[in-house]
Amino acid sequence: MGLKLNIAWFDKKTEEFIGEEYSRDLGDDGSVIEKLGLPIEDNINNGAFDVKKEWMTTLESYFKNKIETDKYWY
Q: What is the pTM of this model?
A: 0.80
**33-63 core/surface letters (b: 16 or more CB in 10 A; e: else):** beebebeeeeeeeeeeeebeeebeeebeeee
- Is 32 part of any domain? yes
- Is 19 part of any domain? yes
- Is 1 part of any domain? no
- Is 28 part of any domain? yes
Residue 33 structural domain = 6-42+49-73
Element (H, E) at 60: helix 56-60
Residues 25, 3: contact at Cβ < 8 Å? yes
Per-residue pLDDT tens digits for 3-48: 899 999 999 999 999 999 999 999 999 899 899 988 877 766 667 7
Residues facing residue 73 across a β-bridge: 10
Residue 59 belongs to domain with CATH number:
3.10.50.20
Instruction: Say whether 59 sits in a helix, a strand or coil.
Output: helix
Q: How many domains does the chain have?
A: 1
